[in-house]
Amino acid sequence: MMKSLTREQIENPGVSSKPFVIPSMSGSSSILGINQKLRLVILTQFYPPDFAATGQFVEELAANLSQQEMEVSVFTGMPGYAYTEGNAPRQEERAGVRVQRSRVSRWGDRHLLGRMLRGLLFCFRAALHLCNRQNRGDLLLFVSEPPYLQTLGYFINLLFGIPYACLVYDLYPEVAIELGVVTEHNWIVRLWNRINQAVWNRASAIIVPSDTMQERIVQRVAEIAPKIVVIHNWADSSWIKPLEKQNNEFARQHQLADKFTVLYSGNMGRCHDMDTILDAATILHEEPVQFVFIGGGPKQQVCAQRVEETGLKNCKFLPYQDRSLLPQSLTACDLALVSVAKGMEGLVAPSKFYSALASGRPVAVICESHSYLRQMVADARCGAAFPMEIAPV
């Protein structure tokens, strides 16, 4: 999954000569000039048992790399994604990966300012963690959550010479601009873009999940194009497998087996178009079709309130399920939904698309006309794509 950096890239991040080789990290230790296992340190705010999809991807990546020529450790926060709360051990080993968690307060998590402060506090804790020489390893991988976490890579490299890579799932400040949090000409945006340019120029690699995100970054910082690598998200098809709904215990438990079920599973966030889905539910309210929403997030309560106010009887909301139930919950439907809000193409990566494919269910994708998801659905002949604000009927 991770791709191997050349010595020239690590010593001079601006240089690229056929970067990375999938799927093995074999030889990484010799590339870095050490005679032992390469020590990779991953820094990310969200990590299982948190529900964040990015954290789950990082866990699978870390476990995979730990089975190769790498010693992998993760620094992360306590569970608290999408308004959920939970606890986990401060230190533990999961699938051969050493995990250390920082206790960051969840105060104000439902408000933008509170989440920003929480992210800054996590960055501060991560900086303290990396000040300890034993915690720095040979290579750092910074995940874009919180979005300013990758700035640490710049300073750690400047102070200690440790190479780093950036794994970008959400592209800021562009996401904040599209959500109306700031304007494009705001001084914060100008400063943020300059920081991104400095961080990416100094990085050994920038990893993104789609071609459209790669294009967005190159539009901003053209000189880093050679070091950007596209690695699409994935799903473990040996774990999530097609399962007949009639034989699905989760479907029987929640009375989903006897009706045509349309499933939205995951975060109902500001970057997702939920209005089109509810419009479709309204149009189909007299049909034998039920819409099931599993998850949480900023729009979950808004969606539930709209359903209650309009009197829709064909919508059911369930909380996030234990990860062990994913193979059952994802196959407890006849149609899977994936949505990307207007303006978010290339800024976020809809992770649920890949698990829907693994479940063997057809997919209805709500996205813009230039989305890469449209081409993927067409090539695989696994569903259909629909424009926003026009309900698929």
Model pLDDT, residue 32: 44
Model pLDDT, residue 27: 41
Which superfamily is assigned to 7-230 in CATH? Glycogen Phosphorylase B; (3.40.50.2000)
User: How many Å apart are CA 392 and CA 291, to the nearest integer?
Assistant: 13
Model pLDDT, residue 57: 93
Instruction: Check whether the bond before 23 is cis (ω within 30° of 0).
Output: yes
Q: Taking the alpha carbons of 178, 180, 185, 188 in that order, is the dihedral positive or negative? A: negative
Mean pLDDT, contiguous 10-residue spans, the chain (393 residues): 40 37 38 66 93 90 92 91 67 93 65 77 94 93 94 97 96 94 94 97 96 95 96 93 94 94 94 95 95 94 96 96 94 97 92 93 94 92 86 45
Domain 245-386 CATH class label: alpha beta
User: How many Å apart are CA 185 and CA 118, to the nearest integer?
Assistant: 26
Contact 44, 58 (CB under 8 A): yes
Question: Same fold for the domain at 7-230 and the one at 245-386?
Answer: yes
Model pLDDT, residue 30: 41
- CA-nearest of 195, 351, 358, 167 to 265 is 351
E strand residue ranges, the chain: 38-43, 70-77, 91-94, 97-102, 139-143, 164-167, 205-208, 228-230, 260-265, 289-294, 315-318, 335-339, 363-366, 383-386
Model pLDDT, residue 95: 87
Show me where the domains of the chain are located: 7-230, 245-386
